[in-house]
Structure formats: structure tokens, C-alpha cells
């Protein structure tokens, strides 16, 4: 005996049963159509480009920490995004077209930038294109550490972007989750970096719309000093995030907490599709 209302003589109220069956069939059809629409609406592959200038091994103290430069370490930490349909592209200053062809830039959802010693080598024409992609098209931009003086970051901020001081003297820091409900803090709890290059406030940037990550430096003499560690802006149509740690002689980009922050930041900065 089945429950199929059309199958047997025991059927006493065929009209009602037919209606139920029709409703059920309709519901199934609706679900099928919705499934098909979901398939049709599957998001196109998203692209995050991780760019660095290829100097992370120039400082003798950095040898061995980033043997394949910082873009490789950050890209490795983004691997969880691949399961969500993200393509992760590494790019560098020494690559053709300084690593970012028009074709690549035009399909980039989020651009991550690390530079330190070769900011001046980045072509202004490339900076123009990056600025347009962020402001007009909504591409996300993530800058980290010494990228504060990088041309694209300075262009987007429109200010001097200087910190008061830059000191690598054995200072440590607590990275403090200040806005636990912010998407960039998802799954992140406050953590300590045993060594950090201290970037002293004030930081000459526009007032951020949010500061999901705060920080407290502890100097070798035990004195403490606050410093912002993760800041967010909306510039034109695009979202911008800056992460303060990331000096080339420390292993920040291999740390699970930092990697989680970058995964979150890419998702946060990506334009809606």
C-alpha cells in the first residue's frame, strides 16, 4: 500500500486527495525550480590577488621566515577561501606588468598589498587604475604593515599615512578584539605577538569607520602604549582594511590568528555580487 492518492480503490475523497497531491507536486516543482535558480545564480569565481614587492628577504634578519616572499605566506593562509569558490593569485613587483595586468585587475575582487622598500618603483599608471577599481567599481583593498606608505594605499587615504615612530626594539603587543561582532573578528580572540615593530600613534589617516582590532604595545622597559591594529574605511564604493602588524623579520603571516583575520577581511572587503 502506498500513499499515492491516485493508486488505489480505497481512495474515498479523490478531489481533496488530488488537491493535496497537486499541492505537493507544486511544492516539489517550486523546490526544483528554486534549486535550478540557485544553480543558475551560483556566484562567479571570486578573485583575491596577494601582491608584494619581493624584498622580504633583503633584511638579513628575515632570512628563512618568508623564503618565497610575503605574498606566498599570505596566500597560503587564504587557502580556506578556495572551498568557497575563491581563486587566490600571487603577484609581485618583479612580474610582467608589475604583477597586475589590466585583465587581472578587472576581475580582482580584493587586492592585498605588502610593500616596504620599493614603493617608489610602482608605476603611477597602475596606482591610477587601482584607485579607480576601488572607488568606482567597489574592489576591496587590504593593506598591511609598511604598506602604509605604499602608493595605492596613500592614494586611497588621501593623507600622509605616517605613524609617529617605527621601532623594532623587542616590543611585544596584545592584539585586542575590540569589536567582536565585526565580520573581521569572526572566530578571533585577542592574542599576543611576542615581537612587533612598534608603529606609534598618531597614524595620519582619515578617521576609520571602525577599528575592529585595537592593540597595546609593551616596550622592553615594561611601559605600555596603545596602538590601533585593524582599521576599516569605505572609500568611494570600495572597502579598505589596514592591518598594522606584519614586519618582514617576524612570522606574523604564519600565525593562525592573523590568517583568520585575513580570510575574514577578504570576505568583508569583497564587493557584493
Burial status of residue 141 (CB atoms within 10 A of its CB: 0-12, 13-18, 19 or more): buried
Q: Is 252 in the site for Zn ion (CB under 5 A)?
A: no
Shortest gap between Cβ of 183 and Zn ion (angstroms)? 27
Q: Is 247 in the site for Zn ion (CB under 5 A)?
A: yes
Q: Which cell goes with 197? A: 615593530
Q: Is 53 in the site for Zn ion (CB under 5 A)?
A: no
Residue in 53, 197, 214, 252 binding Zn ion, rule: CB under 5 A? 197
Q: Is 109 in the site for Zn ion (CB under 5 A)?
A: no
Size of the site for Zn ion (CB under 5 A): 3
Q: Is 62 in the site for Zn ion (CB under 5 A)?
A: no
Return the number of the residue (116 or 133) whose C-beta is nearest Zn ion: 116
Q: Cα separation of 153 and 162, whole Å?
A: 12
Shortest gap between Cβ of 112 and Zn ion (angstroms)? 16
Q: Cα separation of 213 and 268, whole Å?
A: 14
Q: Cα separation of 80 and 133, whole Å?
A: 25
Site for Zn ion in 132-151 (CB under 5 A): 146
224-249: burial string, b at 16+ Cβ within 10 Å, e else? eeebbbbbbbebbebbbbbbbbbbbb
Provide the binding-site residues for Zn ion, judged by CB under 5 A: 146, 197, 247
Amino acid at each position: 500500500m502506498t500513499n499515492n492518492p491516485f493508486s488505489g480503490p480505497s481512495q474515498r475523497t479523490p478531489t481533496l486527495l488530488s488537491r493535496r497531491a497537486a499541492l505537493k507536486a507544486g511544492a516539489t516543482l517550486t523546490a526544483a525550480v528554486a534549486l535550478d535558480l540557485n544553480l543558475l545564480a551560483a556566484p562567479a569565481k571570486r578573485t583575491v590577488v596577494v601582491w608584494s614587492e619581493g624584498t622580504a628577504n633583503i633584511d638579513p634578519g628575515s632570512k628563512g621566515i618568508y623564503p618565497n616572499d610575503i605574498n606566498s605566506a599570505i596566500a597560503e593562509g587564504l587557502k580556506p577561501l578556495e572551498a568557497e569558490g575563491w581563486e587566490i593569485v600571487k603577484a609581485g613587483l618583479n612580474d610582467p606588468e608589475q604583477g597586475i595586468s589590466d585583465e587581472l585587475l578587472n576581475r580582482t575582487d580584493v587586492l592585498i598589498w605588502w610593500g616596504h622598500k620599493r614603493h617608489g618603483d610602482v608605476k603611477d599608471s597602475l596606482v591610477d587604475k587601482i584607485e579607480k577599481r576601488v572607488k568606482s567599481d567597489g574592489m576591496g583593498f587590504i593593506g598591511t604593515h609598511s604598506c602604509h606608505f605604499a602608493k595605492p594605499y596613500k592614494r586611497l587615504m588621501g593623507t600622509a599615512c605616517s605613524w609617529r615612530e617605527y621601532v623594532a626594539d623587542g616590543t611585544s603587543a596584545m592584539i585586542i578584539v575590540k569589536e567582536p561582532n565585526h565580520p573581521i573578528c569572526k572566530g578571533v580572540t585577542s592574542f599576543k605577538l611576542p615581537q612587533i615593530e612598534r608603529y606609534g600613534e598618531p597614524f595620519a589617516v582619515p578617521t576609520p569607520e571602525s577599528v575592529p582590532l585595537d592593540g597595546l604595545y609593551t616596550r622592553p622597559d615594561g611601559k605600555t602604549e596603545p596602538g590601533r591594529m585593524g582599521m576599516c574605511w569605505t572609500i568611494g564604493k570600495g572597502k579598505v582594511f589596514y592591518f598594522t602588524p606584519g614586519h618582514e623579520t617576524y612570522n606574523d603571516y604564519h600565525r593562525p590568528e592573523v590568517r583568520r583575520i585575513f580570510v575574514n577581511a577578504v570576505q568583508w572587503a569583497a564587493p557584493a555580487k
